[in-house]
Each structure stands twice: as structure tokens, then as C-alpha cells.
């Protein structure tokens, strides 16, 4: 080994003898389920960072009859946090999640990572809480045990519920979640009273993980080997610059266990020898002169790729990863990956060997040779869409209970940010600015709170908001559904000339994402309100406390039956049929393309025996495509 290799490999573990690590697992095969690797159910998910701590609070969960209990660590981020966020964001519309985290020796409770319970519990109080609410748990999923005591984790196994965990890292075996190779080989910092064999099911992301876990398992639990929900597709191809400089990318936060010495030594060697190479860490690296750019979303990750145009990826981690989302991103760039050879990195090597562009090295000379030989003049960005295989749907889509909600539901359909595409009858979509429409929506929400007692506002808007607007809307309603990646939805609301289909399709998606999981028999009244329209002082709630469908007819239109659809009340016993009929309209939209929404909805609802008309809705209109002066001239502002 020459001096450059000594510089490069300093502070790395001695891997000359690692025969204590088993070469393969020998679990009883009947206990191991290998799930289908085919991914489907794509889910638009651009965020990488852990979602912010919930700012909205609730007093209790008494009104929620059923949920999945999640045990998690504090807001630490990383792959474990990213995994849980993607699971909750996809499945929370089907089944609520109650997440328990130990923060500063108190158990904090979170609902769907959106709400925080106002009361924190001591550990004994939390255990007592779980015992008294066991009947509400569908199942218990332990995402991570960091922060929780062994006594608390062991209490989960006394609740007579299925308890599943996942091998995000090695914290259930070692006191260090990211043990070094010496710790693994020599069984240093092993937990004396590991509870790993008490779980009913253990999910692991790669068969290679069982090389380590197998030694500590007693073969009594079901073991599921399945890929995590993950990004699966490359997006657009980009050519590199014609410059001779080779750009080497390292993906992820680079700590000492994740290859800090590895990267820093290579950086110093490149500079000391005047090599025409550059390292860019797409992530964070501290106390080091290596250039780095962090990212919080796949969009930002793609922007960094396009800016620096790397020629290959360096895999520098010394960590015994159980999966590695950064490896997924690396492969999706379709760049060559050069990796220091560590034969104990079972899961990573298993994954990367399926990738046709992996090249391993032992020395500095081999590393530099591989970089020069395999540098590539193009790369791909990453599609910001996560794919879930059937295992996750089967596990988290419980679907056997509906949510009891003793509230008066107001379904508010909204499109605050409109496109510049014309409607069939006018060449613009709104005479108001985005800021005006945003302010009008907040006023609409405020008037609803003031006018409808015990209201539960479900706001559906598929505009792409900045973080501040999204936060404000979320804080002001009970359920904000902000789906921005649905191709059909975006077509109907942004491009389609038929305005009726936009409103109808938004209602359908509001049902699909949330309302279909509500027990409609448990609610009070149900209203449909168009965003930005105000409930005014003439509104009389008592006139709606009945089992009727109530609309107002627009008598100014005389050539057809024309009903106001900015506000109407539904009969809760007919809601399921109503949404099914809306879906029929969309499936057969060519029959309705020339009709106004006010005709379509009115014709649909007036067929029912309990359909009633009212002379006064108590609504102040805010019509987008006519001036206030025009409205006042026709006396159409208040209806």
C-alpha cells in the first residue's frame, strides 16, 4: 500500500478478518415471506425532510373509534422518518394514525402528524391510556423504539394486539442504532434484554439484513422481506458539460459513520495532487471544506443534479444500512456508483449488485482508476413519486371500520390559484388575484365557523401553495386536502373548458380521500359550499336541521331548471348514492359537456322525494368572472 492509500484509508476499520459475520441466513424458510417486488399505486410525494411538528391541537381522541397505533422516536428525521411520513400521508385518509413519541421523558401523542394532543403523559399514565383504549387499536406498528424504555415497549405485548416492527436500523439489538463493524463482529453494546422476539411480525427491507438479525431471532415470529415504499422511476435525461472536470457526487448527510473520513481524505488528495475533479455532497457534511448542498424535496435534489451535473456517484458510508433511500436516489440517476468494498454491507450490496453500474475498490489507486474509466457524460433526474407494493396496502388499508364524527360537515371545494386557460363561455377564469382569492377563502371559512354550530370543515383545493399559505389553510379548517399530483383532477380544474366538471371532480376526490371513511349516520348535517362564498347574517341554521335536500332555484334563468350550486344541503342518508352518481357523470362526461353545473346537480338532486326548495340560502356570492357592479345591478350578490 502506498502513502496515498494510507492517507485515504486512515480511520477506517480493519476488515481483514470478518469471518464472524455469517455469509448467509439460515432461518426456517416457512417463517420468511418474500413479497412481490412489483410496485404499483404511485403516490406523489416530493418531501424528503420530516414533516414539521404539528401546530394544531386537540383535547382528546374520544370521537375517533378506530386507529392504528404507531410507536416512534422523537422528530429525528432520516430514513425512518421519511418512511413513516410517506405511510401516513398515503393511508391517513383510510385509517387514522395515533403516534406516540417520548420527548424529554414525556409521552406526546400525535394524530396523523397533523394534530398534537394538548396533554402529555408520563410513562405510567401512557401505559394506562393504552390499556383503556385497546379496543380502538386496529394493530400496533413500532416504527422505532428510540426514546422509549424497555418497560414501555414490553407493555405493548400485554395488550392482546398484533404488534409489528420494522428493521430500520439495529437499535433493537444494539444500544447504538448504527453499530460499527467491530460492534457487530464482537457483539459489543448488545442489549441484554432485547424484546425483538416478542413481536408477531418483523418486516425487513432486504434479505441481507437477516445475516445479522438471524442470530438473535428464535424463529417464532413471521418475517416479511419486502421493499419499502420508494421512488422507482427516473425522469429526464441531461447531458454533462463538455468540460474535462469530473464531478463526483455523494448523496446524503455525511457523518463519520456515513463516510466523513472517506470523503474528506479523497477531497484532500484531489486538491493536493491537482486532479481535475470536484466532489459535491448532495446533503450535509460538517467541519469540512467539501462543497455541499442540502435538499428538502426531490425537486430540490433534481435542481442540484442539474446545476452540478455529476459524472458518477461515490458510495462512502461505513454504516451497516438496512435499506438506504440515498442508494435508491443514486441508482435512479443512472450514474455509475463507485463504492469502497465492505463485504459486511449486506443489504446495500444486495441492492446495488442488482444495479448494473456498481464498481467496488479497495485502494485509492483503484478508486481513481474507476472514476476515470467509468465517468459518464449524462444523468437522469428522479420522478417525485413513491410506489407502494401490495404488502403495504394489505397492511395499512384496514378498511373495516368507519370514523364516527358527531359534527356538521361542510365540504368546501376551492381553487385559489387558477390557470390562464379559458372556459367555454369566457376567456379567463377569475377577475380576482390569487391574494384576493386566498383572503376570500379565509373569510368564507370564518363565516362558516360563525354560522354553523359544531362545524367540521373539509377544504379541498388542489392549488400548489407555498408553505405559509398551506399552513394557514391547514390551521383554519378541520381537514385540508391538498392533492396536487392527480393528472385528471388537474386537467378538470386547470385546463378543461367545462367548469362543471372541475367542481364535480373535486367533490369526488374529496370523497375518495376522506369522506368515504366517515360513518355518515354519525354526522349531523352535510353542506356543500363553494370556496370564497360567505354565509351571511340571513342564514338560518334551524331551517336546515332536517332530513331534506335543500337548494335554491335561480328564477332569473327561465329556459332551463337552474339551481344555485354554491351552497346546498344534502341528506346524509343519500350521500353515498350522491357521490356514486357524480362518478357516473364523470365517466360519461360527453353527455354533460354542454350543461352547466347548476343544471347537472339540480337535475340529479331534484329526483329525490325529500328535495325541497328555499327562497333564501343566506349566502353572499363572490363570482369570479363578473364584476361586483354587474352583480349588484342584477341584485345577485345575496341569495
**191, 174 contact by CB (below 8 A):** yes
pLDDT class for 23, splitting at 50, 70, 90?
very low
Mean pLDDT of 597-614: 94
Residues in Cβ contact with 287 at an 8 Å cutoff, skipping those fewer than 6 apart: none
Question: Distance between CA 67 and CA 99 in Å, rounded?
Answer: 10
pLDDT band for position 593 (cuts 50, 70, 90): confident
pLDDT class for 211, splitting at 50, 70, 90?
confident
Residue-level pLDDT at 57: 83
Greater pLDDT, 329 or 53:
329
Q: Looking up cell 377563502, which residue turns up?
A: 441
In angstroms, the CA 595 to CA 498 distance is 8
In angstroms, the first-to-last Cα distance of the chain is: 86
Mean pLDDT of 206-220: 81
In the block, cell 404511485 appears at 42
Residue with cell string 435512479: 332
User: Cβ(627)–Cβ(431) under 8 Å?
Assistant: yes
The pLDDT tens digits for 164-181 are 999 988 888 888 887 877
On average, the pLDDT of the chain sits at 84
Query: What is the per-residue pLDDT across 465-524, written as a single tens digit (0 to 9) for each?
Result: 999 999 999 999 999 999 998 888 999 999 888 888 999 999 999 998 889 888 888 899
How confident is the model at residue 48, as a pLDDT? Answer: 59
What pLDDT is stored for residue 33 in this prediction? 52
Task: Break the chain into its structural domains and give their ranges.
Answer: 35-228, 234-382, 402-634
pLDDT at 99 over 90: yes
CATH fold of 402-634 reads Spore Coat Polysaccharide Biosynthesis Protein SpsA; Chain A (3.90.550)
Per-residue pLDDT of 108-151, as tens digits, reads: 999 988 889 999 999 999 999 999 999 999 999 999 999 999 99
Does residue 626 surpass a pLDDT of 60? no
* From 184-193, 581-590, 629-638, the region with the lowest mean pLDDT: 629-638
> What does DSSP say about strands 408-414 and 455-461: parallel, antiparallel, or unpaired?
parallel
Asked if residue 394 has pLDDT above 60, the reply is yes
Cell 403516534 belongs to which residue? 99
Q: How confident is the model at residue 26 (pLDDT cuts 50, 70, 90)?
A: very low
Question: pLDDT-based confidence at 424, cuts 50/70/90?
Answer: low
pLDDT at 54: 75
pLDDT at position 21 over 50: no
Residue 50 above 60 pLDDT? no
| Confidence check: pLDDT of 35 > 60 | no
pLDDT value at residue 49? 53
Q: Tell me which fold the domain 234-382 belongs to.
A: Rossmann fold (3.40.50)
pLDDT, position 624: 53
Let me know: does 528 contact 413? Beta carbons within 8 Å.
yes
Least confident of 451-460, 525-534, 629-638: 629-638
CA 229 to CA 627: how far, in whole Å? 49
Residues 233-284: tens digit of each pLDDT: 999 999 997 778 999 999 998 888 788 888 999 999 999 999 999 999 999 8
CA distance 468 to 615: 40
Note the pLDDT of residue 543: 96
Which CATH number is 35-228 given?
A: 3.40.50
**Is the predicted pLDDT of residue 564 greater than 50, yes or no?**
yes
Binned at pLDDT 50, 70 and 90, residue 353 comes out as confident
pLDDT of residue 417: 94
Question: Could you tell me which residue, 450 or 80, shows the higher pLDDT?
Answer: 450
Match 401546530 to its residue by C-alpha cell: 55
Confidence of residue 10 (pLDDT cuts 50, 70, 90): very low
**What is the rounded average pLDDT of the residues 291-299?**
91
Asked if domains 234-382 and 402-634 share a fold, the reply is: no
Residue 55 — very low, low, confident or very high, per pLDDT cuts 50/70/90? Answer: confident
Amino acid at each position: 500500500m502506498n502513502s496515498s492509500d494510507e492517507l485515504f484509508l486512515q480511520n477506517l476499520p480493519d476488515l481483514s478478518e470478518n469471518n464472524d459475520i455469517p455469509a448467509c441466513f439460515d432461518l426456517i424458510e416457512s417463517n420468511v415471506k418474500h413479497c412481490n417486488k412489483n410496485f404499483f399505486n404511485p403516490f406523489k410525494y416530493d418531501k424528503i425532510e420530516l414533516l414539521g411538528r404539528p401546530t394544531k391541537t386537540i383535547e382528546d381522541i374520544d370521537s375517533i373509534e378506530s386507529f392504528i397505533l404507531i410507536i416512534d422516536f422523537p422528530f429525528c428525521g432520516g430514513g425512518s422518518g421519511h418512511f413513516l411520513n410517506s405511510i401516513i400521508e398515503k393511508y391517513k385518509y383510510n385509517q387514522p394514525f395515533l403516534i406516540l413519541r417520548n420527548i424529554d421523558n414525556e409521552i406526546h401523542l400525535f394524530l396523523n402528524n397533523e394534530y398534537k394532543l394538548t396533554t402529555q403523559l408520563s410513562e405510567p399514565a401512557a401505559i394506562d391510556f393504552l390499556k383503556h383504549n385497546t379496543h380502538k387499536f386496529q394493530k400496533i406498528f413500532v416504527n422505532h423504539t428510540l426514546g422509549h424504555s424497555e418497560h414501555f415497549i414490553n407493555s405493548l405485548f400485554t395488550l392482546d394486539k398484533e404488534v409489528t416492527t420494522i428493521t430500520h436500523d439495529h437499535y433493537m439489538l444494539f444500544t447504538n442504532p448504527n453499530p460499527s463493524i467491530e460492534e457487530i463482529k464482537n457483539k459489543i453494546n448488545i442489549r441484554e434484554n432485547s424484546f425483538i422476539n416478542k413481536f408477531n411480525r418483523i418486516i425487513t427491507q432486504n434479505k441481507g439484513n437477516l445475516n445479522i438479525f438471524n442470530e438473535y431471532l428464535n424463529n417464532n415470529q413471521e418475517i416479511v422481506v419486502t421493499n419499502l415504499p420508494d421512488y422507482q422511476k427516473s425522469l429526464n435525461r441531461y447531458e454533462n458539460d463538455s468540460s474535462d472536470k469530473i464531478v463526483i457526487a455523494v448523496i446524503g448527510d455525511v457523518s463519520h459513520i456515513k463516510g466523513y473520513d472517506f470523503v474528506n481524505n479523497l477531497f484532500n488528495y484531489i486538491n493536493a495532487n491537482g486532479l481535475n475533479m470536484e466532489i459535491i455532497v448532495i446533503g450535509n457534511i460538517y467541519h469540512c471544506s467539501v462543497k455541499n448542498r442540502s435538499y428538502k424535496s426531490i425537486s430540490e435534489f433534481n435542481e442540484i443534479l442539474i446545476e452540478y451535473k455529476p459524472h458518477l456517484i461515490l458510495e462512502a458510508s461505513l454504516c451497516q444500512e438496512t435499506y438506504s433511500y440515498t442508494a435508491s436516489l443514486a441508482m435512479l440517476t443512472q450514474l455509475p456508483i463507485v463504492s469502497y468494498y465492505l463485504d459486511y454491507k449486506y443489504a446495500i450490496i444486495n441492492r446495488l449488485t442488482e444495479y448494473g453500474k456498481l464498481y467496488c475498490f479497495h485502494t485509492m489507486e483503484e478508486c481513481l482508476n474507476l472514476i476515470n474509466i467509468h465517468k459518464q457524460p449524462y444523468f437522469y433526474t428522479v420522478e417525485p413519486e413513491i410506489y407502494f407494493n401490495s404488502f403495504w396496502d394489505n397492511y395499512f388499508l384496514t378498511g373495516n371500520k368507519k370514523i364516527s364524527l358527531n359534527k356538521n360537515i361542510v365540504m368546501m371545494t376551492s381553487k385559489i390559484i387558477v390557470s390562464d386557460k379559458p372556459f367555454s363561455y369566457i376567456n379567463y377564469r377569475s377577475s380576482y388575484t390569487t391574494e384576493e382569492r386566498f383572503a376570500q377563502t379565509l373569510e368564507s371559512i370564518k363565516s362558516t365557523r360563525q354560522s354553523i354550530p359544531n362545524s367540521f370543515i373539509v377544504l379541498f383545493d388542489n392549488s400548489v401553495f407555498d408553505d405559509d399559505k398551506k399552513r394557514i389553510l391547514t390551521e383554519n379548517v378541520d381537514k385540508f386536502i391538498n392533492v396536487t399530483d392527480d393528472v385528471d383532477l388537474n386537467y378538470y380544474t386547470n385546463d378543461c373548458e367545462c367548469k362543471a366538471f372541475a367542481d364535480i371532480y373535486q367533490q369526488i376526490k374529496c370523497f375518495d380521500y376522506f369522506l368515504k371513511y366517515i360513518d355518515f349516520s354519525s354526522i349531523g348535517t352535510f353542506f356543500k359550499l363553494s370556496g370564497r362564498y360567505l354565509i351571511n347574517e340571513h342564514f338560518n341554521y334551524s331551517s336546515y336541521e332536517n332530513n331534506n335536500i335543500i337548494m335554491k332555484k335561480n328564477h332569473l334563468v327561465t329556459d332551463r331548471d337552474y339551481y344555485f350550486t354554491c351552497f346546498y344541503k344534502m341528506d346524509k342518508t343519500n350521500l353515498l348514492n350522491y357521490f356514486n352518481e357524480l362518478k357516473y357523470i364523470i365517466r360519461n362526461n360527453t353527455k354533460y359537456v354542454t350543461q352547466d353545473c347548476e343544471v347537472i346537480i339540480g337535475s340529479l338532486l331534484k329526483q329525490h322525494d325529500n328535495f325541497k326548495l328555499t327562497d333564501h340560502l343566506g349566502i353572499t356570492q363572490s363570482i369570479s368572472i363578473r364584476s361586483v357592479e354587474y352583480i349588484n345591478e342584477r341584485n345577485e350578490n345575496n341569495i
